[in-house]
Every structure is written in structure tokens, then in C-alpha cells.
A and B are shown apart, each in its own frame.
Chain A
Amino acid sequence: MKTKKLWVVAALVLFSVGCKSKPKDENEIRIGEFGSMTGTEATFGISTHHGIELVIDEVNAKGGVNGKKLKLISLDDQGKSEEAQLAVQRMITQDKVHVILGEVASSRSLAAAPVAQRYKIPMISPSSTNPKVTEVGDYIFRVCFTDPFQGKIIAKFSAEDLKAKTAALLIDTKSDYSVGLAEFFKKTFGELGGKVIIEQNYVGGDIDFKGQLTAIKSKKPDIIVVPGYYTEAGLILKQARELGLNMPVLGGDGWDSPKLFEIAGKSANGSYISNHYSSEDKDPRVQAFVSSFKARFKEIPDGLAVMGYDAALVLVDALKRAKSLSGPDLKDAIAQTKNFPAVTGLITIDKDRNAAKPAVMLKIEDNNWKFATRVNP
């Protein structure tokens, strides 16, 4: 009986700690961040968090924005969509944040976005690429490109850098990502004078692609585009080389995994993918970021860290320009972002609240990603 009472008291104490509303300082700008700091996708959340932290510290060291210090409030969502929603609601109603940064995974951004929209608090996603995310409402932004946008980038690179005239497409028909990317590739490649001469389909989980590849071989295209994920892409690369198809094969960021090399082995060499950034990019902004990140966290920043960094940079820029810290004013300021020099290139927020920005093309050499070029949209 006594222990029971003790537990009740303990629970009440904890709850009242949670209830205690802190006085809100008018001289700070509160930025909420939610991400998966624990759980199966913990590296995503932690990398992004490091990127954001770096910006906040840099800005505060220089005296903050318009004389106000930035305060980062980060909450863990454990990689669960319902936790993400609750965390965002907590940040808005309890911590009274002015703006929100998050999430990496599109599913959790999709869960949280309606809440931000309802309370009219702007939310910037660093790296959710699903087109549906920003369709939630006019308070939801992103600083990364969308899935279909990569199709455009790959087409531009193929036509202008590889001087390809004809292309073959191998599409995963069950995946939004693959279909969207292929559609935009076809459109842009056509506009640039190229022609898709053969289209073949597969379904994620397939193992044998020899039938499709033989059909492609008979048409002799200049390049093959495989907008899919690394498992199938790896097998396709391997089987293509076995069949004597030696033209370059191109893909999107879905290929970005060391598993690709495990599956494809040497066959992967000479292929290209589009991605958010490369740490080998000689651009001075990239190199400055990489060195300051390395100094602070003792590791080479991955793609998610740089996107977190850029999201925070875009936000700080908008905070400087905003008329006030109210949701609608901040939203307008973010929407007006134009040619902002971020690490991953000049970012412009378009009318659909997506970022129009350059992507990088990486070439696979000796089972490693080598920076090939930067492609502007």
C-alpha cells in the first residue's frame, strides 16, 4: 500500500514538472526541431541535429539575429509518426516555438505538417523528398529537391555532359519515386533533344532482369536510366555488364548505399547518380562547411547533416528579413527566399514551397562515389 502511494506521488511530481510553464523570454527566437534521435533511424535524426546545432552556435557566436539569440528546442520522436505529431504540438503550444525544423523521413513530416499548418507555424523540412509533404499547406517548406526533380537533373546531365541522344528507361512500376523520376526524365530529355527509345518495367523485389536488358540491348541506346533503389539497381548493373551492355547507367539518390557495391561489385564502375551534395565538391562553401563540421563532430558530414545545416541557414536568413516573429510574417519571409547561397547551392523557394536548387552528379569509380559535376536546374 505504501509503495503504491509513493508511486502515485512520484507520478504526480513528474507530471507537475511537465506542467510547469516556463516564462517565455522575449529576447530569444525559439526554434523547434523534431527528429529521430533514437530508434531504428537514429543516425538520420542525429546527423540532421548536428547540422542544425552548428548553424545555431555560429549565429549565436556572432550575436544572434537582430540582437536576439537563437534557442534550439529539439525533441525526439523515436522514429514514430504519432510521436512526431505530439512533439510538434508540444513545441508549439508549450514551448511556444516560432518556427519548426524537421523531419528527415517523409512519413513523419507528413504526420506533423498538419499540426504546424493548423497553428500557423512555419515548418521547414531538411530532407523529406516526397512531393506530398509540401502539399499539406502554405506553412510547409523544404530545402531539398523532390523525387521527380531528380529526373530533370539526370536528363540535363545526360544530354549536356554525357552528350547522349538516345536513352533506355528501366522503371520500378510499384514505386512512386521511380515512376515520378522516370516521367520527369522523359519530359526534360525530350525537351533537350534526346529520345527515350525503349521503356522496360520491373517490380521491386525482382531478381532477374535479363529479359528487359536483352530487349534494351537490341535498341543500342547511349545510356540506361534506372530510377530505383540500390538492391535492384545493383543486380541490374551486374546483369547488364554480363550481357555486354557497357554504356553508362544512371540513377537517383535511391542508389546511395554501400550495399550497391556489395551487390554489383566492379560492374558499378562508370555509372552516375544524382545526389544532394558531395563532400569532395571543391566549392569553397562546401569545403568550409566540411572543415567546421569535422572540427566540431570529428566526422565527415553525410547528406542529412548538410541538409540540416542548409535548412537552418535558410531559416536564419528568413528570420533576418521577417517583419516580425509571427507565423504569417515568417512564412512570407521563407517563401521569398531567392538565390540564397547555401552549402548545397543557390536555393530559391518556388511557389509550391519546394527548393529549386542544384544537385550534384556522382560517378562511381573503384567502388567509391566521386564528385562529377554540379547541375543547375
Chain B
Amino acid sequence: MKQLIQWGSFILVVAIFGWLLTEFVPDYYQTIIAICGINVILAVSLNLVNGFTGQFSMGHAGFMAVGAYMSATLSTLLLPALGFSGEMNVFTQNLLFFGVLIVSGLSAGLIGFLVGVPSLRLKGDYLAIVTLGFGEIIRTSILNIEAIGGARGFIGIPQWSNLYWVLGLSILSTVIIARVVTSIPGKQFMAVRDDETATTSIGLSTTRIKVRAFVLASFFAGVAGALFAHYYSYLNPSTFNFNYSFQIIAMVVLGGMGSLSGSVTAAILLTVLLEALRPLQDYTGVDLRMVIYSLVLIVLMLTRPQGIFGRSEVTDFFKKRRSRPHNA
């Protein structure tokens, strides 16, 4: 019963917010909100690996690319071949999109597994380099497949993604990951981060735990990729280069490694910042956005090296208040 109410209120909130945003907010801001949502999913899922499990992955954009291209192949090439094409009613379209999202997530998860099993035996810098390499391998492979557009890019993807989907899924994935890291198996992730030797000594396979975190993160990256593909309705392999991976890492580090609230905040902050600086070009004449963006990163890292939130969460703030009412 409690679960039913939770799900009901979740859907209601998404429906109301989605409707308000699509009806009353200019299209351009809607797009920015959608990008924020997609980046939130990416940052939160990467935090699971980089923050909570303490493994430095630099190939997140690669898994996103797998999801994005998988979903585009399904909706643009496979489904029309099965007879689902042209105008269809809202219900079938969204049901199909749900299926596409799941399959894309799973395929990214599978690739994550294949990459993770050999590479997660490595530590620190080595792992970072290997994941970076795999991310580039994925991108270069896509670049060379003519059927999905190659270097020209994938065109004609239906615009199935919308603010309802992006909002719903960004909230859902944040909640799922929050539940995972607070659960008992989730504590294993943090155990690996804090002391790998101690974790091994109580009979846990650290590689297995790391792979689990990696696969879960890849799944969500794949879902984010599918949302991305169906929002932009165009894909180009160059989008998913290591710069994108670094951008997601910047969000995780800036927000605080091991803080989901931090990842959400930083993802929104960095996405909005880049767009909010655009009008500056009218005054300066040249595009200074990347300069300011980088400056913000440097200043924040110098003044708060642990990230905006460190390892704390927004919810901790309320809990502390409640437990220490007289101290303040």
C-alpha cells in the first residue's frame, strides 16, 4: 500500500511538473532543463563508480554512446522494419519507447560488464587509462559502422523523448541509486572504497563488487544516452568523445565524490552555467564561456577540494537538525 502511494505520488509530481514546464516555459529553457536531467542521470550513475566505489572510470560517455546508438537503431531501423512506423497513438509510442530505453540500458550494461570484468582488476591510474581507452574504442567502432551513419551521424531519429520522460527518469535513477548505496549490499561499494584489503579479508570478492557498480552505472548511462538520442533526434560519434566523459567527471568531483545531492546540484549548475554565459558574447564579442567555465572549476576546487557537498547529502542536513534541536 505504502509503495503504491509512493509510486502514485511520484507519477503525479512528474506529470504536474512536466505539464507545467511544457506549457508555460519557452522551448529553449525546456531543452536546457532536459539536458540538465540527462546530465543528472550521467553524474549520479558515474558517482556510483567514482564516488561510492572509489574506482576512477573515464569512459562514461562511451557507455552513453552504446545506449544512444542502440536506442536509435531500435527506433529508427528495427521498429519500422517490424511495422511500427509513421504516426502512432501516444500509448503505443511511449510503450515502445519504454522498451527501447530498457533494451538500450541493458546493452550498455552488458558492454559495461564485458569492459569491467578484465579492467576492474586494475587499480587507480591504470583503471582510468583502460576505461578511457575503452570509451574511445566504442566511439571509434561506431564511427566506422556505415549502417548507423558513421562520421556523418545518425539522422532521422523520432523525437520520442520529452520532459516527462527526462524528469521522471532522472528522479527515478537518483532514487534507485540512493536506495542502492544505503542498502546492505550497497555498503559493500563503500567498503571497497575505504579499504580494499579489509573488504577482501572478510571474504568478499572486491572485483565482483566493483563490476556490479560498474554495470549498474553503465545501465543508467545507456538510458541517459537513449533519452539524449530521442531528444536531439540526431547523433554524431564526436559528441561522445572523452571530453564528454571529463565533463561528467567534473560534475561528480565538483558536487562531491560520494554525494548524490552534490552530483545533482553540480550537474544542474554546470549545465546552466554554460548556457547562462551565452549572452555574455553580446558584450565581449568573443566567446569566453569556456574560459569562465574553467575558472569556476578551478576556483571551486581550490576553495572546496572535497566538492560542494563533500560526502554529505541534503537529507543529512535535516536529520542533524532533528537530532540536535538545542545545539543550534
A residues near B (Cβ < 8 Å) are: 3-4, 7, 11, 14-15, 17-20, 37-38, 75-76, 78, 80-82, 85-86, 89-90, 93-94, 106-107, 110-111, 114, 130, 132, 136, 174, 176
Binding stretch for chain A, among B11-19, B178-186, B200-208, B268-276: B268-276
CA gap between A82 and B275 in the complex, in Å: 13
Flag if A82 contacts B276 (CB, 8 Å). no
Whether A89 touches B28, Cβ cut-off 8 Å, given contacts A76-B281, A176-B152, is: yes
Report if B128 contacts A (CB, 8 A).
Answer: no
Chain B residues contacting A4 (CB-CB under 8 Å) are 304, 308
Report if B146 contacts A (CB, 8 A).
Answer: yes
Chain A residues contacting B289 (CB-CB under 8 Å) are 76
**How does the 8 Å CB contact mask read for B296-316 relative to A, with 1 for contact and 0 for none?**
000010011000100000000
Whether A75 touches B278, Cβ cut-off 8 Å, given contacts A3-B303, A93-B26, is: yes
Flag if B239 contacts A81 (CB, 8 Å). yes
Whether A90 touches B290, Cβ cut-off 8 Å, given contacts A110-B234, A111-B236, is: no
Flag if A18 contacts B276 (CB, 8 Å). yes
Q: Supply 6 A–B pairs (Cβ within 8 Å), ascending by A.
A: A3-B303, A11-B273, A76-B287, A76-B289, A86-B28, A110-B234
A66 → B minimal CB distance (Å): 26
Flag if B234 contacts A85 (CB, 8 Å). yes
Chain B residues contacting A76 (CB-CB under 8 Å) are 281, 287, 289
CA gap between A13 and B29 in the complex, in Å: 16
- B contacts with A, residue count (CB < 8 A): 35
B291 → A minimal CB distance (Å): 10
**How does the 8 Å CB contact mask read for B243-278 relative to A, with 1 for contact and 0 for none?**
000000000000000000000000001001101111
Report if B93 contacts A (CB, 8 A).
Answer: no
Prevailing SS type, chain A contact patch = helix
CA gap between A110 and B31 in the complex, in Å: 18
CA gap between A94 and B30 in the complex, in Å: 12
Flag if A75 contacts B153 (CB, 8 Å). no
A369 → B minimal CB distance (Å): 26
What 4 additional pairs, Cβ within 8 angstroms, besides A14-B276, A17-B279? A18-B278, A85-B234, A86-B35, A89-B27
CA gap between A85 and B153 in the complex, in Å: 14
Flag if B279 contacts A111 (CB, 8 Å). no
Chain A residues contacting B117 (CB-CB under 8 Å) are none
CA gap between A18 and B275 in the complex, in Å: 8
Prevailing SS type, chain B contact patch = helix
Flag if B234 contacts A81 (CB, 8 Å). yes
Flag if B276 contacts A107 (CB, 8 Å). no
When C-beta atoms are compared, the residue in chain A nearest to B157 turns out to be A114
A75 → B minimal CB distance (Å): 7
Flag if A107 contacts B152 (CB, 8 Å). yes
CA gap between A110 and B276 in the complex, in Å: 25
Chain A residues contacting B290 (CB-CB under 8 Å) are 38, 78
Whether A114 touches B276, Cβ cut-off 8 Å, given contacts A4-B308, A89-B28, is: no
Flag if A14 contacts B277 (CB, 8 Å). yes
Chain B residues contacting A174 (CB-CB under 8 Å) are 146
Chain A residues contacting B303 (CB-CB under 8 Å) are 3
Flag if A94 contacts B26 (CB, 8 Å). yes
Whether A15 touches B276, Cβ cut-off 8 Å, given contacts A93-B26, A107-B153, is: yes
Flag if A110 contacts B28 (CB, 8 Å). no
Query: Of A19, A20, A111, which contacts B232 at CB under 8 A?
Result: A111
A83 → B minimal CB distance (Å): 9
Chain A residues contacting B152 (CB-CB under 8 Å) are 106-107, 110, 130, 132, 176
Flag if A82 contacts B232 (CB, 8 Å). yes
Flag if A89 contacts B276 (CB, 8 Å). no
CA gap between A130 and B150 in the complex, in Å: 13
When C-beta atoms are compared, the residue in chain B nearest to A108 turns out to be B236
Whether A86 touches B31, Cβ cut-off 8 Å, given contacts A80-B238, A81-B238, is: yes
Chain B residues contacting A80 (CB-CB under 8 Å) are 238-239
Interface residues of B in 30-54 (CB under 8 A from A): 31-32, 35
A-B pairs with lowest CB-CB distance, top 8: A18-B276, A14-B276, A76-B287, A81-B236, A111-B234, A93-B28, A15-B276, A107-B153
B8 → A minimal CB distance (Å): 33
Flag if A11 contacts B269 (CB, 8 Å). yes
When C-beta atoms are compared, the residue in chain B nearest to A81 turns out to be B236
**How does the 8 Å CB contact mask read for B125-150 relative to A, with 1 for contact and 0 for none?**
00000000000000000000010000
Flag if B279 contacts A82 (CB, 8 Å). no
When C-beta atoms are compared, the residue in chain B nearest to A18 turns out to be B276
Chain B residues contacting A130 (CB-CB under 8 Å) are 152
CA gap between A107 and B151 in the complex, in Å: 8
Flag if B232 contacts A18 (CB, 8 Å). no
Chain B residues contacting A90 (CB-CB under 8 Å) are 28, 278
Flag if B27 contacts A93 (CB, 8 Å). yes
CA gap between A106 and B32 in the complex, in Å: 24
Flag if B28 contacts A111 (CB, 8 Å). no
CA gap between A107 and B304 in the complex, in Å: 39
A74 → B minimal CB distance (Å): 8
CA gap between A93 and B25 in the complex, in Å: 11
Flag if A107 contacts B232 (CB, 8 Å). no
CA gap between A81 and B241 in the complex, in Å: 12
Flag if B273 contacts A14 (CB, 8 Å). yes
CA gap between A94 and B269 in the complex, in Å: 21
Report if B233 contacts A (CB, 8 A).
Answer: yes
B139 → A minimal CB distance (Å): 14
Chain A residues contacting B239 (CB-CB under 8 Å) are 80-82
Report if B102 contacts A (CB, 8 A).
Answer: no
Chain B residues contacting A38 (CB-CB under 8 Å) are 287, 290
CA gap between A265 and B152 in the complex, in Å: 31
A24 → B minimal CB distance (Å): 14
CA gap between A213 and B48 in the complex, in Å: 57
Flag if B272 contacts A15 (CB, 8 Å). yes
Chain B residues contacting A78 (CB-CB under 8 Å) are 287, 290
CA gap between A93 and B26 in the complex, in Å: 7
Flag if A110 contacts B26 (CB, 8 Å). no
Chain A residues contacting B153 (CB-CB under 8 Å) are 81, 107, 110-111
Chain A residues contacting B275 (CB-CB under 8 Å) are 18, 86
CA gap between A110 and B236 in the complex, in Å: 10
CA gap between A136 and B156 in the complex, in Å: 8
B255 → A minimal CB distance (Å): 12
